[in-house]
Amino acid sequence: MASPVWMLLPLLLLLLLGSLAGHRPWKKQVYQSHKGIGEACRINEECQSNCCTTGSLDPSKQCNPKTILLRCLPWRKPNGHSCFHNSECQSRCCVRSNRSRQKFCTPLTIFLQCVPWRKPDGDFCGNHRECNSQCCIQLREDSPHRCIRRSGILAQCLPLLSLRGRLSFIEGTTATRPGPQP
């Protein structure tokens, strides 16, 4: 009969040492109050839904319901709100909408693409991606690069033909073939 007692003694000793140290890895901490939807919280476990996230532009956290797929997602800004990253927006699209540096949440295109604002024809540019026409070229050797409309049958990004040193693009007419004009 003495042998079962000796076998239980090490187990009892471990339990005693664990309780003295305040460390109980087998026991999960239980919160007294499970908060409802809309109540302020700090961590997921405080909420009945087990989902504590930001719920609006207010940075404080509150209990929110989980999605249909039982995911706990943070609130995202609707279209029109200022943003810095795509992840901040409901549409997942944060782009400049005009010449200013400010970015805004904007809707995706019909093909689910996030298309940034691009410069109109005639604006200065540094590369093709900056232009609405996707065409940024140097009109003359000594001039800066500008956005121009694509030309030709295949709508290629080609320099426009100049007439007596003046560019037809600047005058607002279409390019003609070189040589004497009638």
pLDDT, tens only, 87-146: 999 999 999 877 778 999 999 988 999 988 888 999 999 999 889 888 999 988 889 999
pLDDT value at 33 more than 70: no
pLDDT (tens digit, 9 = 90+) per residue, 106-116? Answer: 999 889 999 88
pLDDT value at 180 more than 90: no
Pick from 116, 135, 115: which is nearest to 125 by CA?
A: 135
SS3 state of residue 156: strand
pLDDT value at 168 more than 50: no
Handedness of CA 13, 17, 19, 20 (dihedral sign): positive
Concatenated DSSP letters of 25-46: TTS----S--B-TT-B-SSGGG
- pLDDT on residue 81: 92
- pLDDT on residue 160: 61
130 Cβ contact partners less than 8 Å away, ≥ 6 residues apart: 118, 119, 136, 147
- The neighbour count for residue 60, using CB atoms within 10 Å, is 10
pLDDT value at 32 more than 60: no
Amino acid identity at 181: Q
- The neighbour count for residue 78, using CB atoms within 10 Å, is 12
Q: How far apart are CA 160 and CA 74, in angstroms?
A: 51
Strand partners, 131: 119
